[in-house]
Amino acid sequence: MNKNLIKIASIFVVMTIVMLLPGCSSILNPEKNFQSIVRHAPFDAVIVPGFPHQKDNWSIVVKCRVHWAVYLYHKGIAKNIIFSGSAVYTPYVESEIMALYAQEMGVPKEHIFIENKAEHTSENLYYSYVLAKENGFQSIAVASDMVQCGFLKQFKNKFKLNDVKFIPIVYSDLKLKEYPDPIINQEEAFVADFVSLKERESFFERYRGTHGYKIKKLLKASKQSYPGPSYGMEKASLEHSMQNTH
């Protein structure tokens, strides 16, 4: 491997570890963290960041995130679920794929919201927060795996989202083997004219995007706490959201 690439990779790993340190105490003990966070329940909405969907393959990452969000909904900890993610690295809109699974798992359409603009992790948080506020939601949390929650915590202050809580997955509560995989029509989330983010952005552009460059630029230009894209005030159903996308 090229020495420069090794150096860059090493820097990336070190930076990632450093950024995770502030949230280590909670992400390394999700059970204890869950008990402290659940005292704030019910949340008006939980945000679930997306992950690339490969055709005919429900990845374990997406499976865990969706199951966790659905678990929180059925337990009454979350009143609504916001799934976030565009078609980024595969021609499937990540938020729509997760929403289809959640619907098959018993979450009503009217309690599912789709944020389909985010292409980077930091954007998952920011755009979903904007969507939540535009729909009148006050108490908001991120529901995802431990590492992603730890990574996203750094953006609370950077984006002035001080009221956001984090609910890392407690894997012992998921019991994935007890439930059959839902059957969805993945083509409903398919984008015909898809172009991968790798073809639209360089490695460094994607790196900066993940670390909030686009959002910080947007905030600086607007001089507001959370201007974001316009999603409208009306509460859209899963079906309506998908029709708008395509």
CA 75 to CA 181: how far, in whole Å?
Answer: 20
**Number of C-beta neighbours around residue 176 at 10 A:** 11
Integer Cα distance of 190 and 148 in angstroms: 25
| pLDDT band of 12, cuts 50, 70, 90 | very low
pLDDT at 8 over 80: no
Retrieve residue 57's tokens.
């393959």
The stretch 134-150 carries a mean pLDDT of 94
Q: At 52, which amino acid appears?
A: P
Residue 172 class from Cβ within 10 Å (0-12 exposed, 13-18 middle, 19+ buried)?
exposed
First to last CA, the chain: 42
User: What are the boundaries of each domain within the chain?
Assistant: 3-245
pLDDT category of residue 205 using cuts at 50, 70 and 90: very high
Span 45-72, mean pLDDT?
96
Q: How confident is the model at residue 29 (pLDDT cuts 50, 70, 90)?
A: low
Neighbours of 245 (CB within 10 A): 16
Does position 31 have pLDDT exceeding 90, yes or no? Answer: no
Encode pLDDT of 143-170 as tens digits.
999 899 999 999 988 898 989 999 999 9
Helices (H), the chain: 3-20, 24-27, 30-37, 60-74, 94-104, 121-134, 146-152, 155-158, 197-200, 203-210, 213-222, 238-245
Percent of the chain with pLDDT strictly greater than 90: 63
DSSP one-letter string for 53-93: PBTTB--HHHHHHHHHHHHHHHTTSBS-EEEE--S-SSSB-
23-32, 35-44, 100-109, 219-228, range with the lowest pLDDT: 23-32
Structure confidence by residue, pLDDT tens digits, 80-118: 999 999 999 999 999 999 999 999 999 999 999 999 999
**Length of the chain, please?**
246
Query: Is pLDDT above 80 for 175?
Result: yes
Of the candidates 228, 227, 218, 240, the residue with the CA atom closest to the CA atom of residue 114: 240
CATH 3.40.50.1470 fits 3-245, yes or no: no
At residue 18, the pLDDT reads 39
Q: pLDDT of 222-246, one tens digit each? A: 765 555 444 443 334 344 443 343 3
H/E segment holding residue 168: strand 165-168
Question: Per-residue pLDDT averaged across 189-196, rounded?
Answer: 96
Q: Label residue 200 by pLDDT band (50, 70, 90).
A: very high
Write the CA distances from 74 to 42, 203, 237, integer angstroms. Answer: 11, 39, 19
Residue 65 above 90 pLDDT? yes
Span 26-30, mean pLDDT?
A: 58
Q: Which residues contact 77 (CB under 8 A, 6 or more apart)?
A: 38, 41, 42, 43, 46, 167
Banded model confidence at residue 73, pLDDT cuts 50, 70, 90: very high
